[in-house]
Chains A and B, each alone.
Chain A
């Protein structure tokens, strides 16, 4: 094991090419995160074509650099201009911008930067500790359990992506359908090709992803004529000296907030589709509730900067846990990384860490190293950021559209892939206009083939469909899927309604059933705790109903 870790360490830290690529990736990520209208996912997606010519570890390390850099890039724009660069830094604006305006820009940036660093480090430790354990758990899964897990990943993406649940489900199903076009992997039979030979290979994952996500986003960015022609930011801020030492001391004094926020970030990252955009607000809210200086929040409170920044960087580690352990992407970024691994003929799954230990530990180490680069590059990237903000959006969008075409072509050297990107770009653009979330569709495309393969394996082993309900893990994931579909209705329901009062306790009690069926002592204890907590909440809420 130590041999593998040392080898992985050498392949990252002692290889100047990999280090150089990570450096460029982190810088690109910081800039992508800092520019409003660009997202971290877009940064990672646009990096993917460059990774075709690299080794798998170099490609993943570069993308991890973009991923980690992106989370901290958002804090520059939100603190210096009051405009969040990415949705994952929205809550940082609440206290970061007032702190800058009160004359402490160096401290504000320092707090954000080092909170991101510490949050990332905590999540990296949890990633290293938890991913192999979760993968070990994943070895228990049969095809029934995997199929149900994919269904759960899709339904929770739908329920957490916001908006209309019907539209979310339709988007997810459209993604699953898109993945069926072409020759099926089980029988090799052509499906929905309509006589076109190009369709036989199916839609490649990368053109679909770039089309749906990047192409449609660029079209949205240039939609408003006036905004497209004006510089990216009207207020571009100025170069400031970061107060590193003082910021570190303040953060370490508030270690409870740091750890709480980091764990919120990790947990949110593990949930499919719930990324930094949710975790930063959740962590901010919890920090505010727990703080004795609640009235200072919104006026430049240190805890209000530490919480969202620690949480959003910790989310990255959480999202990687699911990808590394089970091969299920936690968000769009990890879906892209999954695609990158597939391009190198590596299929992540529960056996990934065992089968590809060098690559797996390489990812862990790259995740650590990227955080050091992020801190080191901040001052330099601040200067570049101030230059980039003077460019109008239409210039960036036009150049990136051309780059998308070149990048997509590089995948298989066929022009058909560019047409696919264009087609899905148009679909993605109109879907966004019509209120359909794109995340479920992207996950549908990524997981569609895997779902079908596991369903085929399950039906090949046994015709008994009841196995989906009688196998504990499968039942657990299916119940989680049902609970996640109902979740948006719970959010919308009035707080005093019967449904909203009983949703949480009933979910706890119901979820304990498959855990009891699993039989192992630890899971029985967890199930008992779930039942007891559920019954306690049920009792409390029933008695409160009686009194009213």
Chain B
């Protein structure tokens, strides 16, 4: 018997199913005839629980080659492996968090510039390139959506005050 990534995922899924099944009891029943609103989600969650249980059993019976202690899960390797993805996550959260203040135009330019620089490097020549790329690409996209497709993109408090 071994504990590996799949075991942890299966346990997480079982917990998720438990919470959601519990939450399905709170779904209101308006008393209409026919299928209740909670019926279909409950079926899906029950099947999901069964499959998660199958995954748990299979993962515990599997050989230990993908064990948690293996070299692949070394904390330094994990950091390096997910470094760029984490940068993207962080930048996207910042972009969304400040969208109300910066708006889509300024926020978009800052997001692309920040992401390009963090992923591509901090040399002066690259930074200038990144700035040009971010202004041009976001400028074009913003113009297409605002003027071409008539979509009112978030203006942001800065531009509104200005």
A binding-site residues for B, Cβ under 8 Å: 50, 52-53, 166-167, 169-170, 173-174, 176-177, 180, 184, 186-192, 194, 218-220, 222-223, 225, 228-229, 392, 394-395, 397-399, 401-403, 405-406, 409-410, 413, 415, 418-419, 422, 426, 429, 434, 451-452, 455-456, 459-460
Contacts and interface: CB of A to CB of B under 8 A. Distances in A.
Given A52-B151, A223-B85, 8 more contacts: A166-B55, A170-B48, A174-B48, A189-B28, A191-B41, A194-B23, A406-B145, A419-B96
Contacts of A223: 81-82, 84-85
A394 B120 CA distance: 7
B32 A422 contact: no
B102 interface: no
Interface in B18-51: 20, 23-24, 27-30, 32-38, 40-41, 44-45, 47-48, 51
Given A166-B54, A166-B55, A402-B112, A189 B44 contact: no
B152 interface: yes
B122 to A, nearest CB: 13
Nearest to A399: B137
A177 B96 CA distance: 26
B142 interface: yes
B151 A409 contact: yes
Contacts of B29: 189
Contacts of A418: 96, 99
B119 interface: yes
A189 B37 contact: yes
Nearest to A180: B41
B116 A394 contact: yes
B51 A173 contact: yes
Nearest to A168: B51
B35 A186 contact: yes
Contacts of A452: 40
A187 B85 contact: no
- The 7 A-B residue pairs whose C-beta atoms are closest, nearest first, are A189-B37, A53-B149, A394-B119, A398-B115, A180-B41, A456-B35, A173-B48
B88 interface: yes
B20 A413 contact: no
B13 interface: yes
A395 B116 CA distance: 6
Contacts of A219: 84-85, 88
16 contacts: A173-B44, A173-B48, A177-B20, A184-B40, A191-B37, A192-B20, A220-B85, A222-B88, A222-B119, A394-B84, A399-B137, A401-B112, A405-B111, A409-B154, A410-B149, A459-B34
